Amino acid sequence: MTFRQHMRQQTVSTLGQLTDGPASAVYAVTFRVDSVDQDPRFPYLAVGCPTEDEPARLLARPDAPDPWEARWHYACFPPSGLEGIRILGNDAEHDPHGAALHRREAEADGLWYEDDAPPDQVQDERGALLDTRFRELCVEPARLLHTEGDLVRALGRPVPVLLYDMFAPEAMFTLARAANPPGPVADFLAGD
């Protein structure tokens, strides 16, 4: 199994766990792109699912945020939307199989490095490539959740899959366009 296949399989499995009550209130699936200790060798994806009750709660407060922010801004998400309900990738604690696959492929591609070698410039270049590849890899399973019908099977309807790269927050609209067909993501993109 490749790391790409593992990520696809695990995102579908995570959606499959949302078959009861909360699934009916889920209005988006979130993919928070991050890395362990901000190290590009250890990227991970936190799969989340914000539900309708959180924006409703925020909008009922006297100091309510803008309606778009209450619904779509990652800072307003509850832990299930921002921190996720499952972590996938090169995180040995939460996804040991994914961590082994990612490292093996990074080594095979000549991108892995140890802390003490090679020189910092080479580490930076390899780290940037690892980061770019992982972000691109995260778009693919998001897109496939739509095209393969996984969202409709799990949630009963299409919802947007929103990718939040914590190191490039300005990329969220570009990533959302790449990961979703126009319909489900239209309300989110209205904030662009």
What is the four-CA torsion angle of 85, 87, 92, 93, rounded to 10 degrees?
-20
162, 33 contact by CB (below 8 A): no
The pLDDT score that the predictor gives to residue 192 is 81
Reported as a single tens digit per residue, the pLDDT across 165-176 is 878 888 999 999
Place of tokens 């579908």: 12
Give the three-state DSSP class for 90: coil
Place of tokens 């095209």: 147
Reported as a single tens digit per residue, the pLDDT across 30-63 is 999 999 999 999 999 999 999 899 999 999 999 9
pTM for the full predicted model = 0.90
User: What's the rounded mean pLDDT across residues 121-130?
Assistant: 94
Domain chopping of the chain, boundaries: 3-184
